[in-house]
C-alpha cells in the first residue's frame, strides 16, 4: 500500500526540474514559490506520517535520502547556472557518495539517528543556499559558511554528540 506521506516525499523529485528551469530563465519569483513548496512538503510529509500513523524507519530514510539527493544535485546545478563553471558540477558526485555512506551507516545501525540540531540546521542551510543562488547573491562567501556548518554537523554526528 502506497502511503500519502511517501507520495509527498517523492513529489519533491518532480518539483526539482521546475526549480532549475525557473532559475535558468531568471524567473526568481516562480523559483522561490517552487522552493517554498519543496520546503513545505518536506515538513508536511513527516507531519502527515505522524498524524496518519504511517511513520516508519524506511519512510524516514526515504525522506533523508531524497532531501540529500536534491541538495547534492540542485545546489551544484544552481552554482553552474550562475557561474557557468563546469567544475561546480563535480561537487555533486562527491556529495552523493558522502550521502550514500551516511545512509548506509543509518541503515546498518538502526539505533543511530541524526543529531538534534541536524534537521533544522541542514534544512535552514539548504533553504538559504537555494535563495542565495536564486537571487545570485554573493554565494561564494555563503558557500564557505555552509561548508563549515555542514562539516561541523558531520563531525557532531560521527562523534555521537547531541544525538536524538
Domain borders along the chain are 4-159
Among 13-17, 82-86, 124-128, name the most confident range.
13-17
Higher local confidence (pLDDT), 107 or 41 = 41
Q: What pLDDT is stored for residue 34 in this prediction?
A: 93
Cell of 67: 532531501
Instruction: Find the DSSP H helices in the chain.
Output: 4-24, 28-51, 57-83, 91-108, 118-134, 139-159
pLDDT tens, 55-91? 887 888 888 888 888 888 888 888 788 788 787 778 7
Pick from 63, 48, 51: nearest CA to 106: 63
Q: Is the C-alpha dihedral spanning 125, 28, 30, 16 positive or negative?
A: negative
d(CA 136, CA 159): 35
User: Residues of the chain with pLDDT > 70: what percent?
Assistant: 73
Q: What pLDDT is stored for residue 114 in this prediction?
A: 55
Stated pTM of the model:
0.71
Mean pLDDT of 116-122: 62
Amino acid at each position: 500500500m502506497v502511503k500519502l506521506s511517501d507520495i509527498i516525499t517523492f513529489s519533491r523529485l518532480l518539483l526539482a526540474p521546475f526549480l532549475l528551469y525557473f532559475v535558468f530563465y531568471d524567473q526568481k519569483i516562480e523559483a522561490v514559490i517552487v522552493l517554498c513548496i519543496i520546503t513545505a512538503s518536506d515538513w508536511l510529509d513527516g507531519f502527515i506520517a505522524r498524524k496518519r500513523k504511517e511513520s516508519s524507519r524506511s519512510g524516514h530514510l526515504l525522506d533523508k535520502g531524497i532531501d540529500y539527493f536534491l541538495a547534492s544535485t540542485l545546489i551544484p546545478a544552481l552554482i553552474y547556472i550562475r557561474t557557468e563553471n563546469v567544475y561546480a558540477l563535480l561537487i555533486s558526485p562527491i556529495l552523493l557518495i558522502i550521502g550514500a555512506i551516511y545512509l548506509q551507516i543509518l541503515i546498518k545501525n538502526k539505533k543511530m539517528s541524526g543529531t538534534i540540531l541536524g534537521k533544522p540546521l541542514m534544512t535552514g542551510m539548504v533553504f538559504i543556499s537555494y535563495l542565495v543562488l536564486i537571487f545570485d547573491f554573493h554565494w561564494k562567501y555563503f558557500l564557505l559558511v555552509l561548508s563549515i556548518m555542514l562539516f561541523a554537523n558531520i563531525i557532531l554526528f560521527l562523534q555521537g554528540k547531541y544525538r536524538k
